[in-house]
Each structure stands twice: as structure tokens, then as C-alpha cells.
């Protein structure tokens, strides 16, 4: 638990993704490709296609209403991540990665048939010692979770409800929730990290009138940025570095040296000198990003250009927050407005840490964009601590082997398969006090619900180890202004207590909560919870 190991983890996490480390990482087929020798900004940023419904079908609970029915196949396909890199084999929804973007309206349900048409052999090394991925399970299994969706349990993408190639599963998405930027991704038990690296994720927007009324940039002026980091072999194939231990390939975090934006490495984007809305999601397994906009393309310092954050995981913030850099952990989303009218004819670079990852070319044509960002976006009622029926203290714990290497991580010391201990009552509010006993930051996600962050606070680790009692050793730190909206994923910082307040609304039944570092999730840092009737 030394602070030097902590800062090294944080450095590795940022440096690897920024490409600062030079990469001779061994990969199954040899050395890894160094993206930093590639020509930069030669490929246009692709925009994922919009998903289209195949037909309408009767609403499952109200046959007089018809709802859209989508049918999306998961397929193996090849795509170019860069002009000068040979085509890469991916797995993706609708044969692309990111998959097609869903456009939904609040209160208007839809149905999706998810078809697994993948091959029977995995693209990446499966660890058969992990829970749920044992040798008696098929190698290729998939189940789709709509992250941030208030979805009935049978459609939620429970990790155990996987299907195999040749099968399909139907999900019902009620969309009875406020406007938000959700995303869908694979969640199969014990192999989520591999299915994600293979490319199984896509965006899912829910819109409503509150948002419409703000007249935010839309159409060509609203652009999704799906970020992830990858490692490629010299011949351009996906690589997932392994532990080197025979039969136990799992490693505790996957960091790539190549950052893909909507599936491209170092893309460029052409914009007009006006306001744009960028919808950002971090779909990396373990990579945390610190994003900024810069006038310079050097890999020296982060950018310094201002932008406005207007929304987070579960929709709009109450007020825009002016930022110069934005930290985003796996699973988190950010909705930002950048005003390019300040930069006619210039190039602006999107950076992660100091490294430019995309070039934005601002044209010098005049536009008649009169967009003014409103001072208030919506009102957000703060949940009151005094309304919480239960306060649960829940630990985040990791276990090391005798060489000090991570072995597994648990939530509250319990394995996934142990009996359910968290049983919130439908309609009640709870405080979840996340006590991080590890030397790592974990983005914690709860299915079904949205929540607010109360505070983060240092505590006496040694005293907690000895007595199991929380003794705070620092003041409560309020969430950052851009964390004051509705969230579904929260950064539980190293050796801190992070408190969230959650109202359990929507449905009764079994859901999961977990760390969104997918290597942790796959190695037991996931637990069921069950919403019960009062």
C-alpha cells in the first residue's frame, strides 16, 4: 500500500494510453505496433450509423400499441483502423465497431433481437480459471447490457444469461427515463473484457423535450466520440497481452497504446466555426483518460482551450461547467459543448494527457450559428441523506499472490456466486458507502439505477483493518461540479471512502453492480443485488 506503488499505477494507466511508454509489449504474434510511428490525421473520423428498426411489433404489455423492433447481429468483420495499418479482425454489433447508434425517445419503448452470429472460437485468450468461464462453458458467449438503462431484469443483460453462436435473445427497453447518453456492450460472465476488446459496444441516446427545448447543436453538429485503447500486432491484429502463466492468462488491467476514436487511430474531423456538441464515452477496459483541447499538436503538455460540460452519465447537469480538462473513467460519459467560432481556419487537437489523439480542422467559412448556451439546463433535486432508509458499508478489496501480483478483487469480501446480501426495497433510498481498501481507483457501476455522489473522504486504513470501523482522517470532499448530476458510474478513489445516494426505482429483481475496469469485473469484482417488493 505504499504511495509509490499507487502513483506508479496511476502513471502507467495514463502513460500507456498516451503512448508515452515505448511499446515492445509481447503479443501472441510478436511485437506490438507502435502507433506513434504512423502518419497522423490521415483518416476521417467515422460516425457510427444510426440503427434502423426492421418492423413494428405489439408492445409486450399493451397489444394495442406497436413498438419498433430492431434486429442486430454480432458478427466478425474486418476494418481499417488507419490508412497504413492492414485490416483488423473485429467483432461488432451490426458488423461494425462501434455498433450502430440507437436513437430513442423518453417513454417510447423498443425491442431488440440480438443475434449471436460470431465464430465458435474466441479472437482473444480465454482464462478458463475465472468464475463463469470454466472449461465446461462454450468459449464464445455474449449477452448485451444497456449501460445506464432502466430495464426489467430479464432484459438487463445479466452476465449469466449469455447466448452462444447461432442463438439470439430479445431485449425490451422501456426507455422510461430522462434523456441520457447510454451505451450498450457485452457483459458475458468471465469474458466481458475480451468481448469488449473484440469490439462489442455501441451508443444509445435517449432524447426528451427538456433537452430539445435547449436547442443544443444537433444533426451534423452533434458528434459521438467513442474512445477505447487497444494493442495491435505488427500486422494490425488485436492483441490482448497475457500474464505468461500457463493456463491462467488473466492480467489485472489491459492498457492499450493505441487510442481509437469511433474505431480510428489519429482521425481528423472537419468542423465549421460554430458550437458543436460532443457525446463522449470511455469504453476502454481499464484506461482512464484526461481529455483536453489544444492549439498545438506536440506531445508535451495537455491542452488549455476552454469547453463546457453540460451532461454526464444520466443526462444534463443543472448548469454548464466550464472546464479545460476532463477526466473520464471506463463506463463514464460526458456531454460537452465546444465553441469553434473562436478558431476560424485553425487546427485544434483533442488530447489525452499531453498526446494529441485527433485533429479538428476548423473551416474559415462564416456560419450564422447564434447558439447561446443557457445558464440553466434543467433542475436537479439533490437527494437528502435524511431520506435514506439504509446505509451500507461496502468494501473494495484486492488479493495478491505471494509475489505481490493481483490475484482477484472482491466487493465486500464476497464472491459473485455467494448469496445476495444487498436487497434494497423498491422505492426506497439508500446510501452506499464504498470503502476502497485497494491501491487502485475503481469506477463502480450499478445497473438499473441512477444516483448522486455525496462525498469522498480519507480514512484510517490501519484502524479499519484492525477493527472494521471507519475512522475518517480528512474532511469530506464534495463531488466536482461536473459530478453533481445524475450518475451511474462513480470513481472510487484510492484509499478513500466514496459515498453515493441511490433511489431504487423501476423494477424488482436481480441486477449486478461491479467495477467497470473489465479485468476486475471478470475476476469477481462484481456482485448481484436484488430489488425487492416492500
Residues that bind Cu ion (CB under 5 A): 442, 515, 517, 520
Answer with the entry of ligand C2O, Cu ion, none that 515 interacts with (C-beta below 5 to 8 A by kind): Cu ion
> Strands 180-186 and 144-147, how do they pair?
antiparallel
Residues 327-346 that bind ligand C2O (CB under 6 A): 331
Q: State phi, psi for 501 to the nearest 5 degrees.
A: -120, 125
The single-letter DSSP state of residue 27 is E
Tell which one of 115, 514, 520, 527 touches ligand C2O (CB under 6 A): 514
User: Residue 486 contacts by C-beta under 8 Å, 6 or more apart in sequence?
Assistant: 178, 180, 312, 313, 314, 315, 380, 450, 451, 452
- Closer to ligand C2O by CB, 13 or 147: give it: 147
Stretch that binds ligand C2O, among 249-257, 370-378, 449-457, 509-517 (CB under 6 A): 509-517
Half-sphere exposure of 356 (CA within 13 A, CB side): 19
Tell which one of 82, 193, 230, 445 touches ligand C2O (CB under 6 A): 445
Residue 527 binds ligand C2O (CB under 6 A): no
Stretch that binds ligand C2O, among 263-271, 272-280, 393-401, 512-520 (CB under 6 A): 512-520
Residue 491 binds ligand C2O (CB under 6 A): no
Question: Which 3-state string (H, E, C) describes 453-490?
Answer: EEEEEEECHHHHHHHCCCCECCCCECCCHHHCCCECEE
Partners of 351 in the β-ladder:
292, 356
Residue of closest CB approach to ligand C2O: 147
For the chain, helix (H) and strand (E) counts, in that order, are 5, 34
Q: Which helix (H) or strand (E) holds 14?
A: helix 3-18
Answer with the entry of ligand C2O, Cu ion, none that 450 interacts with (C-beta below 5 to 8 A by kind): none
Query: Considering Cα of 151, then 206, then 208, then 455, what sign does the dihedral take?
Result: positive
Answer with the entry of Cu ion, ligand C2O, none that 126 interacts with (C-beta below 5 to 8 A by kind): none
- Closer to ligand C2O by CB, 331 or 485: give it: 331
Cell of 101: 447508434
- Closer to ligand C2O by CB, 145 or 499: give it: 145
Q: How near is the Cβ of 442 to Cu ion at its closest, in Å?
A: 3
Q: How near is the Cβ of 197 to Cu ion at its closest, in Å?
A: 17
Cell of 12: 502507467
Q: How near is the Cβ of 398 to Cu ion at its closest, in Å?
A: 8
Residue of closest CB approach to Cu ion: 515
Distance, CA of 211 to CA of 231 (rounded, Å): 38
Tell which one of 115, 150, 187, 442 touches ligand C2O (CB under 6 A): 187
Distance, CA of 198 to CA of 190 (rounded, Å): 14
Largest CA-CA distance found in the chain, in angstroms, rounded:
67
Q: How near is the Cβ of 465 to Cu ion at its closest, in Å?
A: 19
- Closer to ligand C2O by CB, 35 or 443: give it: 443
Residue 98 binds ligand C2O (CB under 6 A): no
Distance, CA of 78 to CA of 276 (rounded, Å): 31
Tell which one of 40, 115, 122, 147 touches ligand C2O (CB under 6 A): 147
State the residue for C-alpha cell 430492431. 70
Answer with the entry of ligand C2O, Cu ion, none that 187 interacts with (C-beta below 5 to 8 A by kind): ligand C2O
Dihedral angle at the C-alpha atoms of 159, 451, 481, 379, nearest 10 degrees? 130
Least Cα distance to 249 among 534, 26, 95 occurs for 26
Distance, CA of 440 to CA of 525 (rounded, Å): 13
- For the chain, the residue count is 534
Q: How near is the Cβ of 528 to ligand C2O at its closest, in Å?
A: 11
State the residue for C-alpha cell 489485472. 252
Q: How near is the Cβ of 6 to Cu ion at its closest, in Å?
A: 14
Stretch that binds ligand C2O, among 23-31, 50-58, 248-256, 511-519 (CB under 6 A): 511-519
Cell of 157: 443483460
Q: How near is the Cβ of 159 to ligand C2O at its closest, in Å?
A: 8
Residue 161 binds ligand C2O (CB under 6 A): no
Residue 150 binds ligand C2O (CB under 6 A): no
Cell of 80: 481499417
Tell which one of 141, 185, 491, 520 touches ligand C2O (CB under 6 A): 185
Residues 384-413 that bind ligand C2O (CB under 6 A): none
Residue 145 binds ligand C2O (CB under 6 A): yes
Residue ranges binding ligand C2O (CB under 6 A): 145, 147, 185, 187, 331, 445, 447, 512, 514, 516
Amino acid at each position: 500500500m505504499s504511495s509509490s506503488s499507487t502513483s506508479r499505477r496511476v502513471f502507467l494507466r495514463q502513460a500507456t494510453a498516451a503512448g508515452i511508454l515505448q511499446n515492445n509489449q509481447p503479443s501472441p504474434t510478436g511485437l506490438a505496433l507502435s502507433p506513434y510511428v504512423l502518419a497522423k490525421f490521415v483518416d476521417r473520423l467515422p460516425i457510427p450509423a444510426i440503427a434502423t428498426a426492421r418492423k413494428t411489433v405489439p408492445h409486450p404489455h399493451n397489444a394495442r400499441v406497436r413498438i419498433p423492433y430492431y434486429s442486430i447481429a454480432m458478427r466478425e468483420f474486418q476494418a481499417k483502423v488507419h490508412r497504413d495499418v492492414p485490416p483488423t479482425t473485429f467483432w461488432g454489433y451490426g458488423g461494425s465497431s462501434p455498433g450502430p447508434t440507437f436513437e430513442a425517445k423518453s417513454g417510447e419503448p423498443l425491442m431488440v433481437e440480438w443475434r449471436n452470429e460470431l465464430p465458435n472460437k474466441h479472437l482473444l485468450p480465454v482464462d478458463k480459471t475465472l468464475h463463469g468461464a470454466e472449461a465446461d462453458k462454450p468459449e464464445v458467449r455474449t449477452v448485451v447490457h444497456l449501460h445506464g438503462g432502466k430495464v426489467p431484469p430479464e432484459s438487463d443483460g445479466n452476465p449469466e444469461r449469455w447466448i452462444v453462436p447461432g442463438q439470439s435473445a430479445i431485449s425490451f427497453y422501456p426507455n422510461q427515463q430522462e434523456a441520457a447518453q447510454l451505451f450498450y456492450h457485452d457483459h458475458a460472465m468471465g469474458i466481458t473484457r475480451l468481448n469488449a476488446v473484440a469490439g462489442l459496444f455501441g451508443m444509445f441516446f435517449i432524447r426528451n423535450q427538456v433537452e430539445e427545448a435547449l436547442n443544443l447543436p444537433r444533426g451534423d453538429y452533434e458528434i459521438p466520440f467513442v474512445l477505447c485503447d487497444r494493442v495491435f500486432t505488427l500486422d494490425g491484429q488485436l492483441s490482448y497481452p497475457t500474464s505468461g502463466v500457463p493456463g491462467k492468462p488473466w492480467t489485472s488491467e489491459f492498457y492499450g497504446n493505441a487510442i481509437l476514436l469511433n474505431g480510428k487511430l489519429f482521425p481528423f474531423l472537419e468542423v465549421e466555426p460554430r458550437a458543436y456538441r460532443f457525446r463522449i464515452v470511455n469504453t476502454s477496459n481499464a484506461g482512464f483518460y484526461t481529455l483536453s483541447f489544444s492549439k498545438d499538436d506536440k506531445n508535451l503538455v495537455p491542452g488549455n482551450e476552454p469547453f463546457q460540460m453540460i451532461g454526464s452519465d444520466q443526462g444534463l447537469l443543472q448548469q454548464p461547467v466550464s472546464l479545460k480538462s476532463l477526466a473520464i473513467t471506463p463506463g463514464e460519459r460526458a456531454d460537452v459543448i465546444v465553441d469553434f467560432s473562436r478558431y476560424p481556419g485553425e487546427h485544434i487537437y483533442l488530447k489525452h494527457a499531453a498526446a494529441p489523439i485527433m485533429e479538428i480542422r476548423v473551416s474559415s467559412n462564416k456560419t450564422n450559428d447564434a447558439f447561446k448556451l443557457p445558464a440553466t439546463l434543467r433542475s436537479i433535486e439533490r437527494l437528502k441523506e435524511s431520506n435514506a432508509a439504509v446505509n451500507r458499508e461496502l468494501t473494495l478489496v484486492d488479493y495478491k499472490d505471494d509475489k505481490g501480483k493481483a490475484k482477484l478483487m472482491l466487493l465486500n469480501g464476497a464472491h459473485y456466486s455467494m448469496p445476495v446480501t444487498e436487497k434494497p426495497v423498491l422505492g426506497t433510498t439508500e446510501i452506499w458507502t464504498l470503502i476502497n481498501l485497494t491501491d487502485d481507483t475503481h469506477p463502480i457501476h450499478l445497473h438499473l439505477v441512477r444516483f448522486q455522489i455525496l462525498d469522498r473522504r480519507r480514512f484510517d486504513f490501519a484502524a479499519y483493518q484492525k477493527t472494521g470501523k471507519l475512522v475518517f482522517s480528512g474532511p469530506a470532499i464534495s463531488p466536482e461540479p461536473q459530478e453533481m448530476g445524475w450518475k451511474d458510474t462513480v470513481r472510487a478513489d484510492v484509499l478513500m471512502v466514496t459515498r453515493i445516494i441511490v433511489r431504487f426505482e423501476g423494477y424488482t429483481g436481480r441486477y449486478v453492480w461491479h467495477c467497470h475496469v473489465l479485468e476486475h469485473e471478470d475476476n469477481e469484482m462484481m456482485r448481484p443485488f436484488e430489488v425487492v417488493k416492500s
